[in-house]
Amino acid sequence: MRALAVRPGIQHSAHIAELPEPQLDSIPDGRGVLVRTLQVGVDATDMEINEALYGRAPEGFDFLVLGHEVFGVVEAVGPAVTHVKPGDYCTCTVRRPGPTIYDLIGRNDITGHEEYYERGINLRHGFMTERWVDDAEFVVKVPQGLKHLGVLSEPASVCAKAIEQAYLTQKRLQVWEPKLAFVMGAGQIGLLTTLMLRLRGLQVFTVARTPNPGMKEEICNAYGATYVSTKETSLDDLVKRVGKPDLIVEATGSSAVAFDAMRVLNINGALVWTSVTGGKKTTEIPSDVINLEWVLGNKLLVGSVNGNRHHFAQGLADLALGEVMFPGVTSRILTTPVNGFDDPQRIMTLLGDSSQLKVYIKVAE
């Protein structure tokens, strides 16, 4: 069986590898789910892995199969599996358990272990293959009515977790009623977070570099948010105009922006960092001013990564509600389908082209 793989540590090594066909009974206790891949989304993480900034091969392999945003159809299930059956659409979580208490309670997304195991990213092969198998515990059903957005399940889970983390941690305030939010970045995470915050009734400004007019602006407006290009309006000018946000979700992929966002958060606000920055860049920050304002303003910074099956369910519920509130808008994120994964160079080139919003591979019809 063919797979799209990289050699971790070697730059631009994306290539086609051979893998044995996955076996249902390789998963113990009849808990296996065998899935035929329909679509796999790719994102900046795949690009960073191909640039050797990030990612490791599973033990015993010198390659890592890519793909962590999967949408597929169930082909067969073991006797102990009850929540999906052959013919159902599904997606799959990314992290696999480590040895800590969090992993034991199904919270692999907050493992206490330094090492983490992620399909398609770190120490576990991904889904960029014709078929794959996994434990029922990690397979999430995608409703028939959402199949056109199924490939966004994983990114949606990441956004759902980020927002959940803000609301959970802000319980420290006893009353938190955020009204104004900034979303930094208008890639898939920025746009889906914009949708989810609009669904929760917040006024949302989505801030990114891409100049107006364009698709990002159109999608944000269609969600009832406002797109702000930093080419035209600086972050400080935006704050002068609309005030300081109670919530900021940062998803630009730039650590400089992540730190810069600290300057503009409102008193009692929450800033959620979601960018995974594989490089080694450094940046200068006005640390005295930020430190003072954060202490005097009781502000909160929370990092959020990955999502467990509960976040996948929430993400799918939000995608569904999004279709009711803003029909047809979310599909517009899916700009760039690629037929098959046999041209890895082309996939990587498209990923590097900022005019493509979402690149995803159609593995099968």
- Output Rg (C-alpha) for the chain, integer angstroms: 20
For 337, other C-beta atoms within 10 Å of its C-beta total: 12
Pure H helices in the chain: 44-50, 101-104, 153-169, 188-199, 215-222, 235-242, 255-260, 287-296, 309-325, 344-352
User: E strand or H helix at 124, and its extent?
Assistant: strand 123-124
* Least Å from the CB of residue 140 to Zn ion: 16
Beta carbon nearer to ligand BGC, 190 or 245: 190
Look-up: residue for tokens 């900021």?
A: 248
SS3 category, 110 = helix
Strand partners, 140: 91
Contacts of 287 (CB under 8 A, 6+ apart): none
Total residues in contact with Zn ion, by rule CB under 5 A:
2
Query: Which of the choices Zn ion, ligand BGC, none does residue 118 contact, using the CB cut-off of 5 to 8 A by kind?
Result: ligand BGC
90, 35 contact by CB (below 8 A): yes
Q: Which two tokens stand for residue 301?
A: 């910074």
Among 33, 265, 305, 319, binds ligand BGC (CB under 6 A): 305
Q: Which two tokens stand for residue 365?
A: 């019809």
Beta carbon nearer to ligand BGC, 42 or 238: 42
Site string for ligand BGC, 263-302 (x = CB under 6 A): -------------x--------------------------
Residue 43 interacts with ligand BGC (CB under 6 A)?
Answer: yes
Query: Which of the choices ligand BGC, Zn ion, none does residue 250 contact, using the CB cut-off of 5 to 8 A by kind?
Result: none
> Rounded distance, CA 68 to CA 122, Å?
10
> Rounded distance, CA 267 to CA 252, Å?
23
Residue 109 interacts with Zn ion (CB under 5 A)?
Answer: no
The secondary structure of residue 135, as a DSSP letter, is E
Beta carbon nearer to Zn ion, 31 or 125: 125
* Least Å from the CB of residue 256 to ligand BGC: 19
Residue 39 interacts with ligand BGC (CB under 6 A)?
Answer: no
Site string for ligand BGC, 118-147 (x = CB under 6 A): x--x--------------------------
* Least Å from the CB of residue 226 to Zn ion: 26
Total residues in contact with ligand BGC, by rule CB under 6 A:
11
Q: State how beta strands 2-6 and 117-119 pair.
A: unpaired
Query: Which of the choices Zn ion, ligand BGC, none does residue 149 contact, using the CB cut-off of 5 to 8 A by kind?
Result: none
Residue 68 interacts with ligand BGC (CB under 6 A)?
Answer: yes
Beta carbon nearer to ligand BGC, 43 or 135: 43
Beta carbon nearer to ligand BGC, 68 or 125: 68
Query: Which of the choices ligand BGC, Zn ion, none does residue 330 contact, using the CB cut-off of 5 to 8 A by kind?
Result: none
65, 129 contact by CB (below 8 A): yes
Residue 250 interacts with Zn ion (CB under 5 A)?
Answer: no
SS3 category, 206 = strand
Phi, psi of 155 (to 5 degrees): -55, -35
Beta carbon nearer to ligand BGC, 43 or 250: 43
For 20, other C-beta atoms within 10 Å of its C-beta total: 7
DSSP strands (E only) in 243-307: 247-250, 270-273, 300-303
Residue 45 interacts with Zn ion (CB under 5 A)?
Answer: yes
DSSP string, 82-106: -S--TT-EEEE-SEE--SSHHHHTT
Q: Which two tokens stand for residue 7?
A: 């050699």
Residue 158 interacts with ligand BGC (CB under 6 A)?
Answer: yes
Among 43, 48, 88, 135, binds Zn ion (CB under 5 A): 43
Beta carbon nearer to ligand BGC, 153 or 203: 153
* Least Å from the CB of residue 161 to ligand BGC: 9
The secondary structure of residue 108, as a DSSP letter, is G
From 25-33, 45-53, 285-293, 340-348, span contacting Zn ion (CB under 5 A):
45-53
Beta carbon nearer to ligand BGC, 44 or 74: 44
Give residues in contact with Zn ion (CB under 5 A). 43, 45
Give residues in contact with ligand BGC (CB under 6 A). 43, 45, 68, 94, 118, 121, 154, 158, 276, 305-306
